[in-house]
Amino acid sequence: MTSDSSLVSKIAALQDYSQYEDLHWEGSFEDYLGLVRERPEITRNAFQRVYDMVISYGEEEYIDNKKRLIRYPFFKDPIDNGRDAIHGLDIPLMRLVHVLQAAAQGYGPEKRIILLHGPVGSSKSTIARLLKKGLEQYSRTPAGCLYTFKWVNLQGTGCVAADDEGGEFPCPMHEDPLLLIPEQWRATAVKELALGTDRHRVRANGDLDPACRFIFQRLMSRYNGDWGKVITNHVRVRRLLLSEKDRVGIGTFQPKDEKNQDATELTGDINYRKIAEFGSDSDPRAFNFDGELNIANRGIVEFVEILKLDVAFLYDLLGATQEHKIKPKKFAQTDIDEVIIGHTNEAEYNKLLNNEFMEALRDRTIKIDIPYITKMSEEIKIYEKDFSQERIRGKHVAPHTLEVAGMWGVLTRLEEPKKHQISLLQKMKLYDGKMLPGFTQDNVKELRKETTREGLDGVSPRYIQDKISNTLVRDGTEGYINPFMVLNELDKGLKHHSLFSDEDQRKKYAELIGVVKSEYEEIVKNEVQRAISADEGAIARLCANYIDNVRAYTLKEKVKNKYTGRDEAPDERLMRSIEEKIDISENRKDDFRREIMNYIGALAIEGKKFTYDTNDRLRRALEMKLFEDQKDSIKLSSFVSNVIDKDTQDKIDVIKSRLIKYYGYNEASANDVLSFVASIFARGDVKE
């Protein structure tokens, strides 16, 4: 028994009692007015609160293609350590935040539905989920706190059932306590009590819900119109914590079968059990104000696939957006304060555009396009989140596996360049911030402007995630997966996936897999090349030899042969074998050599020493030269055969260890990549 008690006490010790008391604060209406005077922001409306929540995580300004952009760290999901992080959609998210900002300032968007529109799997529902999750968390912080009220001491007032021992009635729609001030006095009361500041103006718009209005009127009658007694004797204010699971301030509506769904799911329904208690189905106490638009009051409501809703539901949305009112069955229009956000795909949106009867809904909608990612480095982050080495136990993901998957996904979404003589692969690299000879940031802007549907078509990240998963669990992968396994799985899936019904589209995507395979070949050839030429001592010696010869050449001097001790002419063959690696022509060799010597002289004046990696072009040339020399000396092509002498095997083991240590391979994947590159050299398919 003692043991159990001690275990329970250890868990109990984890609780923060002061935080619990703060989150469950209760007080009088007088106390609440004091809070409003100190912190008028607690009376913000839903749009103001959502916008402030997003901004509370900060803003990051940066320049992309000479354009000033703002990144919002909130969308990296700091709440759940990046589980729902959004990647590569800075511009659409910036537009969304600007809409929230304009709505928060009352410029018009607060009377609209925010409609996220885009292809399947483009993060629309993730954005909505993030906003709901963020608002829920924000309501638990000092900066995001908000308050509601409940009626108390109602026994004997006729406001609750005779057998109701508690005598309490919580406000069913979690309204701001300031709504208890009659509307005709409200503005004067706010002014005379000096509630609010220039930055945070206190405005309580709307009226009480039907149930609270009923109780308020009955109590006012009981006290002969003495509002002060009603408030003092029967109102308690409490902290409001928004929670999607508890259906408080955050709602989600998802279309179902039309036969099993009606509009009461949005605006509430009669509680038939209570009709017997209160005698009428038009008594607001016999009504459940638990529709999604009711319970989401003060917060946010998400409409999943909003345009799949029956027309009857869409009519309810018209008033909810423009007038911020809903019409519960048998009751007057009821005020609401909430952000309405929906998402839909292109097919459903086109149906809305073609439906002339839904013009009113189109007019009340702000559409924000959420396209697929067109930046490869951002696309890869999606797969790294799900298939990182930390999450995949017992399986090794070879380097570049997720990279080639992301590369193919982005290529399927890009439109062929129209005006510029570049390939789709080159266009993808430019979009990703890579530098290509002859292209500038202005060219990237032009490439983007000439597109019409870029990012709205192509392959969904979900498809790629599914195929990576298939590869991971497939038999015969021997504890690891590599790029070719994933690319083959992606290729096979094209023939059977329901989204790829168009034969031309399927053929184009299959051809792009070939493009990615070719690019991967170049990547691993360069990687093996760097691993072979990673002997810094050898590079440094080659560099010193080259510099000695260049110095002698430019000064028209001889070079002392360190083996024979004799003065000899500069080794033209050595110098050209290095310079040719970076396309220095015969006509330009003198200029390049003088450039190198001037560079060394400038460094010397600054007191700096020249090393092989000081000049990037020369470093690259030296690596390629050393690679060629080493490649021949270790006979890498012999790796494809079963007969390798010990000396060659030792050298291959050194290269393999470098691949494992510096490039992230394991033993098996390093063997595979060496075999693959060796087969390329064996067939002579080498590109400088």
**What distance in Å separates the CA atoms of residue 306 and residue 341, rounded to the nearest whole number?**
9
Question: In sequence order, which residues have a C-beta less than 8 Å from that of residue 436 and are 6 or more positions away?
Answer: 422, 426, 429, 430
- Predicted local confidence at residue 640, as pLDDT: 46
Given a cut of 90, whether residue 94 has pLDDT beyond it is: yes
Question: In sequence order, which residues have a C-beta less than 8 Å from that of residue 439 and are 6 or more positions away?
Answer: 420, 422, 430
Question: In sequence order, which residues have a C-beta less than 8 Å from that of residue 248 and are 6 or more positions away?
Answer: 174, 240, 241, 242, 295, 299
**What distance in Å separates the CA atoms of residue 368 and residue 287, rounded to the nearest whole number?**
37
- Between these two residues, 133 and 615, which has the higher pLDDT value? 133
What average pLDDT does the structure give for the chain? 86
Burial 44-70 (b: 16+ CB within 10 A, else e): bbbbbbbbbbbeebeeeeeeebeeeee
- Predicted local confidence at residue 6, as pLDDT: 83
- Predicted local confidence at residue 687, as pLDDT: 47
pLDDT band at 663 (very low <50, low <70, confident <90, very high): confident
Contact, 187 vs 178, CB < 8 A? no
User: 3-class SS at 251?
Assistant: strand
Given a cut of 80, whether residue 475 has pLDDT beyond it is: no
Mean pLDDT across 650-663: 82
Given a cut of 80, whether residue 32 has pLDDT beyond it is: yes
Mean pLDDT across 463-470: 92
Contact, 55 vs 44, CB < 8 A? no
- Between these two residues, 678 and 544, which has the higher pLDDT value? 544
Lowest mean pLDDT among 1-15, 164-178, 451-465, 649-663: 1-15
- Predicted local confidence at residue 5, as pLDDT: 64
Given a cut of 80, whether residue 216 has pLDDT beyond it is: yes
User: 3-class SS at 596?
Assistant: helix
Per-residue model confidence as pLDDT tens digits over 280-323: 888 898 899 999 999 999 999 999 988 887 777 777 888 899 99
pLDDT band at 1 (very low <50, low <70, confident <90, very high): very low
Of 173, 226, 225, 179, the residue nearest 203 (C-alpha): 179
- Predicted local confidence at residue 643, as pLDDT: 53
Mean pLDDT across 223-248: 96
pTM of the model: 0.84
Q: What percent of the chain has pLDDT over 70?
A: 93
Lowest mean pLDDT among 32-46, 65-79, 304-318: 304-318
- Predicted local confidence at residue 166, as pLDDT: 72
Per-residue model confidence as pLDDT tens digits over 117-163: 999 889 999 999 999 999 999 999 999 999 999 999 988 888 877 66
Given a cut of 60, whether residue 641 has pLDDT beyond it is: no
Strands 250-253 and 300-303 come out as parallel
pLDDT band at 688 (very low <50, low <70, confident <90, very high): very low
Given a cut of 80, whether residue 179 has pLDDT beyond it is: yes
Per-residue model confidence as pLDDT tens digits over 96-121: 999 999 999 999 999 999 999 999 88
Report DSSP letters for 116-136, one per residue: EE-STTSSHHHHHHHHHHHHH
pLDDT band at 247 (very low <50, low <70, confident <90, very high): very high
Per-residue model confidence as pLDDT tens digits over 336-380: 999 999 999 888 888 877 777 678 888 889 999 999 999 999 999
* Residue 15: Cβ-neighbour burial (10 angstroms; 0-12, 13-18, 19+): exposed
Output the CA torsion sign for 630, 631, 633, 638. positive
